[in-house]
Amino acid sequence: MKSDSKNLLDQSVQYLKSVGPKRAESFAKVGIKNIHDLIYYFPSRHLDRSTLLTAAKASDYLMNGYEGELTVIGKVFEKEKKRFGKKEILKVQFRDSTGFFECVWFRGTKYFYSVFNEGNTFAISSKPDKSKFGALKFIHPDFDRLSEEEEKSFLHTGKIIPFYRIPKELKSGNIGDLSLRRIINLAVENYVDLVEETLPEEIIKENNLIGLPEAIRNYHFPESSEKLNSAQSRFKFEELFYLELLVALRKQNYQTKLTGNKMSIKTNLVQNFLKTLPFELTKAQLKVLSEIKSDLLSEKPMNRLLQGDVGSGKTIVSLIAMLIAIDNGFQAAIMAPTEILADQHAKNISVMMKKLYLKYPDKEIKVSLLLGGQKKSEREKRLQDIELQEADITVGTHALFEEKVNYKNLGLVVIDEQHRFGVRQRARLQSKGKTPEVLVMSATPIPRTISMTVYGDLDISVIDEMPKNRIPIKTVLRGESRLPEIFKFIIDKSKDGYQTFIVYPLVEDSDKLELKAAETFYEELRKTHLKNLNVGLIHGRMSWQEKEEKMLLFLKKQFDVLISTTVIEVGIDIPDANIILINDAHRFGLSQLHQLRGRVGRSNKQAYCILVTKDEIVQYNIQQRLELDYLSSSMLDKYKSAIRLQTMVKTNNGFEIAETDLKLRGPGDIFSTKQSGFPDLKYADIIYDTELLNLTKKIAFNLINKDPSLDSENNSVIRNNLIKHYSENLKYAKIA
């Protein structure tokens, strides 16, 4: 019986009444191949009684200054195309029992002309506009055609009508609002009861969810708005539940299938190292260190994310972890995102290890650097050091984990600035040692909701405190017109030994343009405002060796000012660089601005971050805004820019900045599923559905705790559904 029903749902849509092979082809183009797909093609919205108005009422609303979206139902009364030079405008007049309104199209007029036929009824949804004479008008509104019966049943019985997105592939296949609703209705009526439940009975009951067939039916053709809500909630629940199940499985897999190296504190190595530091570790560093230590000393392999703002002292913490591994006879590796950073890590670590050896000459710790661009002979030597364990600590980029690199005894891997590495890379490098302990470090604060999922399989440690000697960076926002004053400030400060980064954004996605822009500014400033200072230039077209050379000159104070494109974004430590001037600051994202600001303020002097932008953005008053939805796109850009920049001025706290960033950008950018190996979210919103996310996480983790390989009878539903619909995502979380 079961296999029969599955077969029926797997049938091509072409066997549905009024579909046929031609329309089936169009459906296939948008990914709807079988009946199951069609049943899961949910409406993008429903005809909503709460915002439905008559033409007369809508005019009243308009007169009273209403700016929200509303819906009116009307019959096409007449239409006309008007030509203005090359441009053509389409005007369609509609009427309902109370009056008239007009819809206007400036683009696609030919197509829209063919859509609106006299006597046909449409639901029009949009923000209203006024015509020259103050009459009700809509410009490029959303519209859906209604059949006469639909209109009647909607008006008289309050029946909720679904509106579907109709991509051009369907339109050109002669599938419109009415026909699509009819076809989907047919499919739902006849086949929905064959759809197999995807959640266990118990979970459905305990969480007051509605069953799958009922949810599907009500998502399409709701009996009531309450039912529609229940249907949508059920899909959100299911989606987040399976997401968290995958997270739980991944974590489970890591902890039970793999055994780590049970380390211990063997000698005084770590103690001695701490004595060579010119500072005390902060409380936060000590706390995360004890978390890391307990991972290392236990049997289960460490798989930990270490978060901390730029400059909070993550590198020292990771170095101590590496020393524990070395104390136990292992090698350690640290991977940086760029060659210049790897190089800098290698130098810093070498210096510290030399100092340690001079003071406590019982064990010399050898540091080796492995990069892509090295000479062959040099590279061979490094590879050999790694194979023979001549190198205790290897620093590098991705090159560290290429196939040719054979570690003799790799015990710990540290990944710096991990947001650039995906789960695939993590999996690959973990295949390098027996099961090396893994510590991932990120300076990009990740909001909790995101880290719970994308990094939910990692344990998380947070350094939430800066070293005491730091004075908070002063951040100011200035209009371009004040640049001359700013340059004067830079010159004044240089007399006190301050150095300055001047950053320009990338002009476009083109290296050539970037180079040109940076060079132009460089030449100009050297001749004008900054002619009495030593000015250097660094940009993305330079090789890492060239960049490094420039950074070294800057470090040695050969330059007072370093002009750069965003290449200084990550991790470079110049203690006397205490001013950063960011031009066209509105072009940068929030987390990028925060990273850039982190380049300064690494000493005990007052540091400054000067954000320069268009004067109008500086003057923009956020309080005066309307609802976000009603801003035109250029207003919205300006509004968002203003918020970003004012957030920077207001706070130095990376987590606060990340939360704002998430709200402004939406989850898409940050919640990059391609990298994480988790499925895309269709129903739930990771920003707004946090409560549900917490709930499903709890349920999923409990369930996997009790039944790790999902072989209890109760969980067979889950098991089958995972295999059927999430096989792609199971790669990193195999169930037995």
Window of 123-131, 186-194, 290-298, 303-311 that interacts with ligand ADP by CB under 6 A:
303-311
Q: Which of ligand ADP, Mg ion, none does 285 bind, CB closer than 5 to 8 A by kind?
A: ligand ADP
Q: Does 312 bind ligand ADP (CB under 6 A)?
A: yes
CB 571 → Mg ion: shortest distance, Å?
4
Name the segment binding ligand ADP (CB under 6 A); options: 75-83, 235-243, 305-313, 536-544: 305-313
Cα angle vertex 327, ends 325, 328, to 5°? Answer: 65
Does residue 322 touch ligand ADP according to CB under 6 A?
A: no
Residue 311 in the binding site for ligand ADP (CB under 6 A): yes
Q: Judged by CB, which is closer to ligand ADP: 228, or 443?
A: 443
Query: Is residue 609 a contact partner of residue 474, using CB atoms and an 8 Å limit?
Result: yes
Give the number of residues written for the chain.
736
**Rounded distance, CA 261 to CA 389, Å?**
17
Residue from 227, 236, 602, 697 in contact with ligand ADP (CB under 6 A): 602
Contact 228, 222 (CB under 8 A): yes
Regarding 264 and contact with ligand ADP (CB under 6 A), the answer is no
**Minimum distance of ligand ADP from residue 387's CB (angstroms):** 29
Coil/strand/helix, residue 443: coil
The one segment of 94-102, 297-305, 308-316, 641-649 that binds ligand ADP by CB under 6 A: 308-316
Q: Which is nearer to Mg ion, 229 or 653 (CB)?
A: 653
When CB distances are held under 5 to 8 angstroms depending on the partner's kind, the choice from Mg ion, ligand ADP, none that residue 469 binds is ligand ADP
CA distance 448 to 450: 5
Q: Report, in Å, the least distance between residue 24 CB and ligand ADP.
A: 57
Q: Name the segment binding ligand ADP (CB under 6 A); options: 251-259, 311-319, 333-341, 606-614.
A: 311-319
Long-range Cβ pairs for the range 538-543 (8 Å, 24+): 538/562, 538/563, 538/564, 538/565, 538/567, 538/568, 539/514, 539/515, 539/564, 539/565, 539/567, 540/506, 540/511, 540/514, 540/515, 540/565, 540/566, 540/567, 541/511, 541/514, 541/515, 542/567, 543/373
In whole angstroms, the minimum distance from the beta carbon of 519 to ligand ADP comes to 30
Q: Angle, nearest 10°, between helix axes 633-650 and 654-665?
A: 170
Helix (H, G, I), strand (E, B) or coil at 93: strand
Size of the site for ligand ADP (CB under 6 A): 17
Q: Provide the β-strand partners of residue 102.
A: 93, 137
Residue for token pair 């790897």: 342
- The residue nearest Mg ion at its CB is 571
Rounded to a whole number of angstroms, the minimum distance from the CB of residue 256 to Mg ion is 32
Please identify which residue in 308, 445, 536, 667 interacts with ligand ADP, judged by CB under 6 A.
Answer: 308
CB of 328 to Mg ion, least distance (A): 25
Q: Which stretch binds ligand ADP (CB under 6 A): 2-10, 94-102, 277-285, 695-703?
A: 277-285
Phi, psi of 176 (to 5 degrees): -115, -170
Quote the least distance from Cβ 494 to Mg ion, whole Å: 27
Residues 609/597, Cβ–Cβ less than 8 Å: yes
Burial class (CB in 10 A: 0-12, 13-18, 19+), 624: exposed
Among the listed residues 316, 323, 356, 582, the single contact to ligand ADP using CB under 6 A: 316
What does the radius of gyration of the chain's CA atoms come to, in whole angstroms? 31
- The answer to whether the CB of 21 falls within 8 A of the CB of 203 is no
| Contact characters 429-458, ligand ADP, x per CB under 6 A | --------------x---------------
CA distance 600 to 474: 10
279 touching ligand ADP, by CB under 6 A: yes
Does 595 contact ligand ADP by CB under 6 A?
no
With respect to ligand ADP, which residue has the nearer C-beta, 309 or 659?
Answer: 309
The residue type at 123: A
Smallest distance from Mg ion to CB 540, Å: 20
142 strand-pairing partners: 125
Smallest distance from ligand ADP to CB 285, Å: 6
Is the Cβ–Cβ distance between 311 and 250 less than 8 Å? Answer: no
**Cα(first)–Cα(last) distance of the chain, in Å?**
28
> What does 240 bind: ligand ADP, Mg ion, none (CB cut-off 5 to 8 Å by kind)?
none
Kindly state the smallest distance separating residue 560's Cβ from ligand ADP, in Å.
Answer: 21
Minimum distance, C-beta of residue 573 to ligand ADP, in the bound complex (Å): 6
Rounded to a whole number of angstroms, the minimum distance from the CB of residue 393 to ligand ADP is 15
Residue 467 within binding range of ligand ADP, rule CB under 6 A: yes
The interface region with ligand ADP, picked from 3-11, 31-39, 234-242, 314-322 by CB under 6 A, is 314-322
The amino acid occupying position 413 is V
Beta-bridge partner residues of 441:
306
The residue (of 184 and 658) whose beta carbon lies closer to ligand ADP is 658
- State which of residues 162, 222, 313, 433 lies at the interface with ligand ADP (CB under 6 A): 313
If the CB atoms of residues 137 and 602 are measured against ligand ADP, the closer one turns out to be 602
CB of 306 to ligand ADP, least distance (A): 9
Tokens of 452: 């719970």
Using CB under 6 A as the binding rule, whether residue 573 contacts ligand ADP is answered as yes
C-alpha 163/C-alpha 159 separation (Å) is 13
In this complex, which beta carbon is closest to ligand ADP, that of residue 251 or of residue 314? Answer: 314
Question: Helices then strands (H, E): number in the chain?
Answer: 29, 23
Q: Toward ligand ADP, which CB reaches closer, 651 or 690? A: 651
Q: Are 568 and 537 in contact (CB under 8 A)?
A: no
Amino acid in the structure at residue 480: E
Exposure of 584 by Cβ count < 10 A (0-12 exposed, 13-18 middle, 19+ buried)?
A: middle
Q: Is 469 near ligand ADP (CB under 6 A)?
A: yes
Residue nearest to ligand ADP (CB): 313
The single residue among 135, 281, 383, 635 that binds ligand ADP, judged by CB under 6 A, is 281
Torsion of CA 367, 369, 370, 376, to 10 degrees: -110
Q: By the criterion CB under 5 A, which residues form the site for Mg ion?
A: 571
Instruction: Please report, as ranges, the residues that interact with ligand ADP according to CB under 6 A.
Output: 279, 281-282, 285, 308, 310-316, 443, 467, 469, 573, 602
